[in-house]
Amino acid sequence: MGAGFVRAGFTPAPKEEISCLIIPTGIGATIGGYAGDANPIAKLIASKSKYLITHPNVVNGAVLTDIPENIIYLEGFLLDQFLLGKFSLIPNKKNKIGVIFDSGINDERLNYEINVLNALRAFYGCEIKYWTLTDKPLEVSVEINEHGFSTGKIKNIESLIKKALMLKEKGITAIAICSAIPDYDLNTNYKLGKGVDPIGGVEAIISHIVSASTGLVAAHAPVLLSNEEINYKNISPLSASEYIAKTFLPSVISGLRYAPTISSYQLSALDLSQIIVPYNAFGSAGVLYQAEKFKNVTLIKENKTCLEVSPFDLNLKFNIVESYTDLTSQEKVIKLGIDPKVLKRPIRKIERI
pLDDT digits (tens, 9 = 90+) for 9-64: 444 444 468 999 999 999 999 999 999 999 999 999 999 999 999 999 999 999 99
- 93-150 pLDDT per residue, tens: 999 999 999 999 999 999 999 999 999 999 999 999 999 999 999 999 999 888 888 9
Instruction: Give the Cα separation of 278 and 294 in Å (integer).
Output: 18
Mean pLDDT on 219-229: 88
Instruction: Give the Cα separation of 194 and 189 in Å (integer).
Output: 5
Residue 188: what pLDDT? 80
Residue 3: what pLDDT? 45
- pLDDT band (50, 70, 90) for residue 186: low
> Is the distance from CB of 252 to CB of 258 less than 8 angstroms?
no
Residue 167: what pLDDT? 98
Instruction: Give the Cα separation of 11 and 168 in Å (integer).
Output: 43
Residue 187: what pLDDT? 77
Residue 31: what pLDDT? 97
- In single-letter form, the type of residue at position 1 comes to M
> Is the distance from CB of 116 to CB of 63 less than 8 angstroms?
no
Q: Is the pLDDT score of 248 beyond 60?
A: yes
- Strand 318-321 and strand 297-300: the pairing is parallel
Mean pLDDT on 177-190: 83
Residue 320: what pLDDT? 97
- In single-letter form, the type of residue at position 338 comes to I
The model's pTM is 0.92
Residue 10: what pLDDT? 44
Q: Is the pLDDT score of 177 beyond 60?
A: yes
Residues for the chain: how many in total?
A: 353
- 321-336 pLDDT per residue, tens: 999 999 998 999 999 9
- pLDDT band (50, 70, 90) for residue 183: low
